[in-house]
Structures are given as C-alpha cells and as structure tokens.
Chains A and B, each alone.
Chain A
Amino acid sequence: MKPPVAFSILAGFVLLFAGCDSADPELEPVLLDVKMAENIPADPASGRDPDTGASISNNLFTLYDLEAGSILIPSSQTDAATRQRDSTSTAWDIGFRGTTIIFNGGTSGPGEAAAQLLAQPFAEVTEAPEGGYVADGENTSCPQVSTPVGPVPGSPYAICTGSDNGWYNYNPATMLLAPIPGRTIMLRTASGNYAKIRILSYYQNNPDPPDAAAPSRYYTFEYVLQPDGSRDLTSE
C-alpha cells in the first residue's frame, strides 16, 4: 500500500462528507488508525515428544510487517531457503517466538529498527519519544537476574525478556501469562517510521477472562503506525 494514495483518497472522502465549509483540511490533525493484529502465531506447539509428552515447537520466529498488516513468514515456515530470503529483508518489523519479541535491527535483522518499552498507557502516548530506542543486542539496561551469587545481566533484547521485566508477567499459581497493563512498545521501524504497540493477549482468540487452558503463543496486539516519518501518533 502506498500511503500517499490512501491518504488522498481518505482526505477526499473527508472533504466529500464534511462539506466545503469545514476548515482547511491540511490544518486538521490526521487521525491515524488503530490497527489490530489477531492470533499471530509465535511458535506454538507443533506436536508432542512421543517419549516425554513434552510439547515440541519449531523454535522459529513469526516475522510481521506492520505497514502491510500481515505476516511475512510464519513460525510454521520451516523451509530454510525461504526463511533465509525473507528474514534478511527489511520488509518485516517485529518478530515473535514464545514470549520473546524481536525487531528488524541489531542482532535480529538487517534493518534499522529499534525499540523501547514505555511505562505509559497506550492511549496516552500521542507522540513517540525522540530518543531512547535501542536495537536488539544493544540493550544494556535489562533487569539483572537476581541470584544468591549476585545479579547476572539479562538478555540484551530491546524489550527485555523474562516475567515482569518486559511486556508480560507470569503467575505460577494460575499458570497465566498476562501482558502488563500500562506498557507500550515504541518502535522505530526498519524504514524509519514510528509506531506504538500494545500486546493484548498471548492466548488464542484473546479469551476474556484470560484462560490458561487456551492454546498459548498466539499474540493479539494493537498498534498505531505513523507512515510519514513524523513522531505524531494521534489516533482516532
């Protein structure tokens, strides 16, 4: 999709329905769409070990293109050549495998993508921060894993891994994994545009109330992408 075309069509419709007595359309803030991505598989179980009964998965990422709003490579794609071709492109922005989220940059991809996690509600983020983005492999601020022998550094993903360190927490009593409210992933995409992302569910079909019995490793998330390179993320 070419954003300028889409926008002129949209602006045309706005003018058509709003009539000519409205203010100059160029001064109106352009409200961005909140897009929804549902049931994005993040390396879900693909079978069971016949001996132990442990679930087996492909140990592969699903790579997602925010601008197109579609999956570029699913985690079920095991053909190495296909994966190699697509994962080394800059067409994808964000990848999911289990609870790990990667971005197309740094140690994860050839792009320039970088991200950060804000402790701010999704709806209240109307402008992307100017700085603070880090690429995967470069994050030195992940909470250390506390151990009796002293802390050890966490994995240097842009969004730190582990319960309560990044986007989710895990409750061992209910065995439920839940996105932490008030956490917004801020992304500068491979093509230099800004986006905000909120993870809504880790379970298939986003069950309400959350249900640990539902198949896990299926992301539902919403996002707002500013395609014009500005940091404005005002959405409808």
Chain B
Amino acid sequence: MRPICLFLALVIVIPSVTARAQQIPADSVRADSSRVVEMSPIVVTATRSEKALEDVAVPTTVVLAETMRMQGALRLNDVLVTIPGLALFEDHGAGLQVQGFAPEYTLILLDGEPVIGRTAGTLDLNRLTLQGLDRVEIVRGPSSSLYGSEALAGVVNLVTAPAAEGLRGALGGRFGSFGTTDLTAEVEAGRERAGVRLLIDRYASAGYDLTPASFGATSPAFTDWTADWRSRFALSDRVLLRLGARATVEDQKGAFALNDDGVEVRYDDEGRRVDWSLHPEAQIRLSDRLRLTTTLYGARYQAETRYRRQRDGELLYDDDFDQYYLKAETQFDAVWNGRHLTSLGGGAVRERLGGSRYGPDADGDRPAANQAYAFAQHEWLPLRLFELSASARFDAHSDYVARLTPKIALLLRPADKLRFRASVGSGFKAPAFRQFYLAFTNAATGYSVFGATRVQEGIAQLQAEGAIDHLFFDPATLEEIRAESSVAVNIGGSFDPFPRLNFSVNGFRNNVRDLIEAQPIAQKTNGGFVFGYFNLARIYTRGIETNATIRLIAGRQSRLDIALGYQFLQARDREVVEALETGTVFGRDPSGREYRLGLGDYGGMFGRSPHKATFRAAYSHTPFGLTASIRGRWRSRYGYRDLDGNALANRDDEFVTAYAVFDATVTKSVPAPGSADAEVQFGVDNALDVTRPTLIPSLPGRKLYVSLRLTL
C-alpha cells in the first residue's frame, strides 16, 4: 500500500491536480498501465510540481514501488535496465545511457536533490537502494531549464515514500547466487501531523569471476550499508517541515595481477566509499494559491582506493576523492486561476573538492566553486485541448561562462484517446572537475594536463622550470571555458485505440556542441605535450522510442499485462560524419587490405546500440496472492574498440555482438502469524546464462535468489 493520498493531503498541492489525484486508488496505480481503467500516477520531476503523468508534456516514465518489488529489483540499475530506451553504460560503475548520452549527462536526484559522487562521469547506479522508495521517475530530454547542469539527456528522480499513519515495521531478506544478500529493516510511525520512517539496508556480494584463468575476480566482493531517515511534521495547517537524511558506506575488496617483465605480481584492491546527505525542507502555504518551499541540502562523498602488493603489503597506488555539496533554494508556486500556474525559484550552491587529484592551487586553496541560479516556469492551460509550459533558468558559476537555458513544451489532447507532446529545450553540463581543477603530470611519459582554472599557473610554473620548449599560443589569451550544451527536440504522443491497449512514441534529436576535449597547448623540452581542455566537439543523437502496453486479462481476480518497447538510436560525431561524407576515412581488414568507408559503415559512437527492445509480462492472481513477472531485453551490437586505426567502430571485431537477457520472478503471499503479512519471492536473473567475460564484465551469469518479506 502506497500512502499517496496521505502524502497529497499533507503536501499542499495545486488544487486542480489535488482534486484529480485524490481520487486515485493508491494500490491500483501502475506504471505504464493503460489509463483507461486506472488513473494516471502523479509525478513531480518534469515540472517541479505535482502533475498527473498523462498531462506531462515531456516524455516521462514512472515505475512504482509495487512494480519494482514484483520484479525483484534491489538497486537502481535493476529497475532502469527494464525500461524501454534506457541502457546501462559501464564505465567506472553502472551508468545510465539516456537517448544515447553517456552517464555524465543524466542527473540523478533523491527527492529532487542531486546525488553527488561521480567517477569518470559515472554515478554508479548500484549505489542506490530501491528500498524505501515510492517510485522512480524518469524524464527524457533536457531539463536544464529547471535543474541546471547534468540534466542534458534526462533526469532520474528517486522519490521516497512518506511515513504513513500508524505503526508499521518490515523485515526483508534476500539470498542469491554469488553470495548476494540484501537485508532490510524498516520502521514507520505516523500520525496525521507527523511521521517518521527509518530504514537500514545491508547489501552485499561475494563478487564473481568470469575469467577463472586469470587472477582476480571480475567483480569484487563488497558490503554496502544504507541508513535512511524520512520524517514529516506539520507545524500548522500551513507549514509542513520535512527532513530527509541518508548515509551509506561501502567496502569493497578485490584483487588483480600485473605483469612485471613476465612475472605475475598480485595486488589487493581495496576501496571504501562513504557518503551522506541531509535534506531539510519547509513548505509554507502562504494562501490558497501561493506556496513557498525552502530547501537546504548538504551532501558529502568520499572515496578511497588502495592497491597493495600481496607479497609485502607495499602500497602501490592510493587515490582519495572528497566532495562537498551545499545548496540553499527557495521556490514559489502560484496558481493564478485554473489556467495559469507559475513557479519561480532561485538558489545558491557551494562545492568543494579534496583528494589526491585536486590538490590546493598556488595560493594553497582547495578547489571550490560557487554558483547562483534562478529559474521560472509558467504553465498555461487555456483549453482542455491544449497546455503550454515554458521555463528558463539562469546559472552563474565562478568557473565557467554564465548561461541561460530555456525550454518550451506543448501538450495537445485532440481526443480523449490521443495525446501529442512536443518540446524544444536546451540542456547543459558544467565542465567536470578534472576539466576545471586537474593539475597532473605523468612522470613516466612526461606529459602534463591542466584544468581550465589551473592552466595559467601550471604553464607559468613549467616555464619557470625551463620545461617548455614552445607554446602553441599564449595561454593568457585563453577564453573562459563554457558548459557543454545542447538543443533538443522531442515530439511524440500516445494513443489508446482500444481499452487496455496503449501505444506511445517519441522521436528525439539532440544537437550537442562545445563538448570538452583535451588539446595540446605547448610542447615540453622532453617532447611531451601540455594539454588543456577546450570546447571543441559536436555530436548529435537522434532516434525513436516506442512502447506498447496491453492488458490481455482484466478480470477481477487476475490480470495479465504485456509491454513491448523498442528504441532506434543514432549517436554520431559530426566531424566523423563530415569526414565519411568527403570520403577520407578508410578501414583496414585483418589481412591489411584497406577500403574506403561510407556513412553506412559508421557504427556510431562506442557503446551505443542502434536497436534495443524490451519485453515485460506480468501476471497477478489476487485470490492466491500470486504474481509472476518475466522481463527480457535485447540490444543490437555496439562498437567498443578500434583495431584498424580510424578511431571508429566499423569492423565486425570492433563490436560487441547482440545479446538478450531474460529475468523472471514469482511472488506469493504466505500465511503469517497474527496481523503480519508475509511474502516469498523466487527469482532468476539472466535465465539464459549469457555472459561476455571480457567485454561485459558487469553481466554475471545466471543468478538465482529467494527472498522473504515480512510486514508487521
């Protein structure tokens, strides 16, 4: 039971939406389900205010806790991988690929606030437990006009469940292959005016080894603890206070071997990650039509990595990273009448970095950045037929050029069964920390790399040391670095030709410019280059996402839902496209023969499958308390390396071949003593035992598990 009604009663909601939302029978709301028989779920991410999913003008997907539990999903990657059009992108953790973009272009939020701590741009989705959530919302296309940096490809928002009334406790345990365990304890206590929920989750794995012939596990053993606190307190009818807090700790232990002149030398690889966030918020209803929300958010992320030689324990490598994020924000929501809704907001962010790679600058100061921003959104609903929303955000940052990001979105309802959605917007991503603050010289090969804020002093220092042979240009004339930015169009709609059948389609095009790349600034006397970061590359992604859902059985006692999704994607570098069109790009086959390549030979950017399909079937039988779910996902081949020197994936041996993965779960409620509810679940992930040992290390073999959940 998800206490949406209570949540909505307490949170002061825009009246028109509330009226609709409160009619929703909370337990019958299902993601992607046909809206003919059920009301649409409420979402908050797309407009920063509550809105029925079906009335959102930008492509949005919601997965409710009930669905995630039925699918046996534990971590955020488990659920996102089942959603049509999304793919995982493995690079320093499980990242998310939305509309063909690398993980650094998607913003991940917890109750509307950014989760921090990325490695090489990837926020490891495996860090985030699904326990304690009410739903996960996914918005595709840029939302930088509301959220700023990183919301270029999309936004994923994990929305926690507020504490319901009454006293409730839950215990869950799951045990599976590869020593995977997940133990959860949850206590929830609430009255009308106040409530609190505390969650402790322990997630652990013994790791797995897909390459037994070589030393070291493919995926290391780890233990991950999450403690989460969510509370609400209504100070009066007009003032609601909320506090969210989360702390997680992960310890990881692996091993690997390096080859030192033909001798295998073994190392232990130990990692520890500690992160926490604190999120107090006050919502004040100033009048029936005016709401003020003030949020403070603080987060810290620390990670350390140690490589020790097993023979003598000598420390070979250590790396520390420490990030602080502090934010204060206020948002006004005004409902002028049923037809005009305005949101205005502004805030400030301070970030500070520490760790081995981002040492103090010449003045001894740690890298720190300040940012101030303001945003505005207006929604206009002149007719039942038609809704228009426009938004814009201004971001001023201490280290990159200030920018204004607009977006406009349109929803058309020509008939009850038909909706058209169109949006045009801009997205941006601030330069990464390394692109700002790195000051690194590779002692072994002699090159140096400087971030945008370090390049002047770095070059000056090298010049003073006499290490610069010649400059390609005067670094004093460098322009300030700009954020990477995009212009995107999303056009689509949904259609219900028959009851219980729904089609939706979305076409997208993202034009991205100012992508940041390292380029040489100077040559050193040792022959090595000095690199800086510049706004250079341009790419585009385009494609179509389609989804069909059908309810084949819709009895009072049982139902069967089937969903099919397909995405077509092209993600291309413009420079490569131009070179292919002029005919100056060649391939070389393994025998050495060279041949000219055309646009059709271009496999697109690495890691992007042109075709992806998903399949989901869910059956539930209420009298038996039984649900069964099967999920499948298939992706066509994708490029991952270059062998013939043209920097492209064009040869068959430069691609990971297509593969499909199937998962299944069966869940049954079982008798439990007293008023308790008990549920047992059996599941299998990757039922066909598909593996690509060296190419997809994140894909373990078949995984069986059993879990038990007790609600008191």
| A residues neighboring B (CB under 8 Å) | 52-57, 59, 98, 119, 121-124, 145-149, 152, 162, 164, 168-169, 171-172, 174, 178-183, 200, 208-210
Do A181 and B594 touch across chains, with their CB atoms under 8 A apart? Answer: yes
- Which of B201-209, B346-354, B518-526 participates in binding chain A? B518-526
B593's contact among A123, A152, A162, A178, by CB below 8 Å, is which? A123
Among the listed B472, B478, B594, B642, which residue makes an inter-chain contact with A121, where contact means beta carbons less than 8 Å apart? B594
B101 within 8 A of A: no
The stretch that binds A, out of B366-374, B412-420, B439-447, B487-495, is B439-447
Binding stretch for chain A, among B128-136, B288-296, B584-592, B629-637 = B584-592
Q: Is the CB of A172 within 8 A of B534?
A: no
Q: How far is the CB of A113 from chain B (nearest CB, A)?
A: 24
Query: When the two chains form their complex, are residues A54 and B584 in contact, meaning their CB atoms are under 8 A apart?
Result: no
Cα of A171 to Cα of B479 in the assembled complex, Å: 26
Smallest Cβ-Cβ distance to A150: which chain B residue = B473
B446, A54: Cβ atoms under 8 Å? yes
Nearest CB in chain B to that of A56: its residue: B526
How far is B589's CA from A208's CA once the two chains are assembled, in angstroms? 12
Q: Which of B6-14, B34-42, B643-651 contacts A (4 or more CB under 8 A)?
A: B643-651
Indicate whether A119 sits within 8 Å of B478 (C-beta atoms), given known contacts A53-B444, A169-B645.
no
Q: How many residues of B contact A (CB 8 A)?
A: 39
Instruction: Give the CA-CA distance A98 to B595 in the complex, in Å.
Output: 27
| CB-based nearest A residue for B471 | A152
A149 touches B444 (CB 8 A): no
**Interface residue ranges of B212-229 to A (CB < 8 Å):** none
Find out whether the CB atom of A149 lies under 8 angstroms from the CB atom of B646. no
Cross-chain contact A147 with B473 (CB below 8 angstroms): yes
Q: Is B92 an interface residue (CB 8 A)?
A: no
* Docked-complex contact B444 and A55, CB < 8 angstroms: yes
- In the complex, whether B596 has a CB less than 8 A from a CB of chain A is yes
Q: Is B694 part of the binding interface, using a Cβ–Cβ cutoff of 8 Å? A: no
Known: A148-B477, A149-B478. 15 other contacts (CB 8 A): A54-B443, A54-B526, A55-B446, A59-B527, A121-B593, A123-B594, A147-B472, A148-B479, A164-B647, A171-B647, A179-B645, A181-B586, A181-B588, A182-B588, A210-B645
Does B559 belong to the interface (CB within 8 Å)? Answer: no
* A171 → chain B closest CB, angstroms: 6
Task: Determine if A121 and B595 form an interchain contact, defined as CB atoms under 8 angstroms apart.
Answer: yes
Q: A123 to chain B: closest CB distance in Å?
A: 7
Q: CB-defined interface of B7-49 with A at 8 Å, one 1/0 digit per residue?
A: 0000000000000000000000000000000000000000000
In the complex, B402 has a CB within 8 A of chain A? no
- How many angstroms between the C-alpha atoms of A122 and B520 in the bound complex? 30
B536 within 8 A of A: yes
Interface: B312 (CB within 8 A)? no
Chain A, residue nearest B520 (CB) = A145
B513 at the interface (CB under 8 A from A): no
Give chain A nearest CB distance to B109 CB in angstroms.
29
The DSSP consensus for interface residues of chain B is loop
List B contacts of A162 (CB < 8 A). 520
Decide if B365 is an interface residue (CB 8 Å cutoff). Answer: no
Known contacts: A55-B445, A182-B584. The answer to whether A148 contacts B478 by CB under 8 A is yes
Contacts of A52 in B (CB 8 A): 443, 446
Collect the chain A residues with CB atoms within 8 Å of residue B518's CB.
Answer: 172
Ordered nearest first, which 10 A-B pairs have the shortest CB separation? Answer: A182-B586, A178-B645, A121-B594, A181-B588, A148-B479, A181-B586, A149-B477, A53-B443, A54-B446, A119-B584
**Which residue in chain B gives the minimum CB-CB distance to A144?**
B472
* Residues in B518-568 with C-beta less than 8 Å from chain A: 518-521, 526-528, 534-536
Pairs across A and B, CB under 8 Å, 28 listed: A52-B446, A54-B443, A54-B444, A54-B445, A54-B528, A56-B526, A59-B527, A119-B584, A119-B586, A121-B594, A145-B472, A145-B473, A146-B536, A169-B645, A169-B647, A172-B518, A174-B641, A178-B644, A178-B647, A180-B586, A181-B594, A182-B585, A182-B595, A183-B586, A200-B592, A208-B590, A209-B643, A210-B643
With A123-B594, A146-B519, A181-B644 as known contacts, state yes or no: A152 contacts B445, CB within 8 Å.
no
Set of chain B residues within 8 Å of A180, measured between Cβ atoms:
586, 645-646
Q: In the complex where A53-B444, A54-B443, A121-B595 touch, is A149 in contact with B474 (Cβ < 8 A)?
A: yes
Say whether A122 contacts B594, CB under 8 Å. yes
Chain B residues with Cβ below 8 Å from A148 are: 477-479, 534-535
What's the least CB distance linking B538 to chain A, in Å? 13
Q: Which of B536, B588, B596 has the most CB of A within 10 A?
A: B588
B-chain residues with CB within 8 Å of residue A210 when the two chains form the complex:
643, 645
Chain B 165-203 near chain A by CB (<8 Å), digits 1 or 0: 000000000000000000000000000000000000000
User: Which residue of the partner chain B has the closest CB to A59?
Assistant: B527
Whole-angstrom CA separation of A149 from B479 in the bound complex: 7
| Least distance between A48 CB and chain B CB atoms (Å) | 8
**In residues 263-315 of chain B, which contact A (Cβ within 8 Å)?**
none
Given A123-B593, A181-B588; A149-B643 close (CB under 8 Å): no
Tell me whether A147 and B534 are in contact (CB under 8 A).
yes
| In the complex, chain A residues whose CB is within 8 Å of the CB of B644 | 178, 181
* Interchain CB contact under 8 A, A181 and B472: no
> A209 — which chain B residues lie within 8 A by C-beta?
643
Question: What is the CB-to-nearest-CB distance from A234 to chain B, in angstroms, rounded to a whole number?
Answer: 17
- Which residue of A is nearest B481, CB measured? A148
Cα of A172 to Cα of B474 in the assembled complex, Å: 24
In the bound complex, residues from chain B placing their C-beta under 8 Å from that of A123 are: 593-594
Q: A182 touching B596 by the CB < 8 A rule?
A: yes
Q: Which residues of A contact B585 (CB under 8 A)?
A: 182
Scoring A121, A168, A171 by chain B CB atoms within 10 A of each residue's CB, the highest score goes to A121
- Measured CB to CB, the closest approach of chain B to A202, in angstroms, equals 10
Which A residues lie within 8 Å of B593 (CB)?
Answer: 121, 123
Interface centre among A55, A162, A200 (most CB of B within 10 A): A55
**Do B473 and A152 have beta carbons less than 8 Å apart?**
yes
Shortest CB-to-CB span from B459 to chain A, Å, is 13
Min CB–CB distance B103 → chain A (angstroms): 15
Closest to A173 in B: B606
Scoring B444, B585, B645 by chain A CB atoms within 10 A of each residue's CB, the highest score goes to B645
A45 to nearest B CB, angstroms?
9
